[in-house]
Structure 1
């Protein structure tokens, strides 16, 4: 029975991306990464692909990615917090804003990683165990160039017929991005034994390493 209860505990811990029982009150503020990007030729991109813990973890292990910030994007309210977004009333999506060096990693390469490692583009308003519009998969181009590349890439995927179900990932216009609470940032690197991380997100980072060894970085990218 002990083993059964242990397994049940792990399953429950791994069932949903949710607020930790003990959470700090502070939030990430002042998007310094954007200011640095403008001065150094770096670019930004936003991806929503289910729980932001895994999205952030994967992109933080990509060479050329200088920072990855978990947050909330695309909502109707002028504020966002975990509790508000989880309620589903604001229409925000859990998302990650990354700052990257286009001389090291291209936007189309980031898209390839997103579709093959980060998210299942055929799941509507859900990813894995997490359901609701806040867990939708979406690409948020930050420039006309990114928008054109994203449209062409999705069209190519639709034409390739790689999935038996239609691709439902949307291209959303850029809106205000609200960084998530501090306890959500770098969640995987700070909580590697968390049940959800072990079950759902660690395998994604392993897949990144196996599928794209040339762009995989063993170190966690964080400025």
Structure 2
């Protein structure tokens, strides 16, 4: 295999590692919502314990990327591909951290009856998860336009976040004994909103990958 072919294979493997890491993070986020909905502490604890796996995946990706930069001295498009991989793996790791935070909040809430309709939180999470999946499709195809479309959905998440926080503020005086739970639910909504923000950052990196231009999306 020629030097160029070997380098291209390494770039392909790097992208596959990113996609695998994203899939693991998506599973963690999905399970965190399931743990909240069912108040399933076993699932919540497994999400927390599994975070070390995601951290290790990011570490491996970064090591491979740094090795390629050091040994191949890439320029132009090749360098963008490696830089983008590092940046996107960081965003994915942070998304996985949000799943851990949701799991921890679920444990804090305990078995108390939830004070807001969980369906609204699920809808918000559903949008964020669709954004995440779409951002990975955009990354795989290096699709600038699809990445831009993905980032636009962040507005819907922001809007739902505002509505849910307002509802919680209104309900707090009515349920003074549930202030701890309402606070944790507010945190959870914030974590979902942050997932969408990290996905938007991924989309920005895809635009950079495809065009070579930095682009602030949905600002």
TM range (shorter): under 0.3
Query: What TM-score comes out, normalization by structure 2 length?
Result: 0.28
Query: What TM-score comes out, normalization by structure 1 length?
Result: 0.27
Q: Give the structure with the higher percent strand.
A: 1
Using CA pairs below 8 Å that are at least 6 residues apart, which structure has the higher relative contact order?
Answer: 1
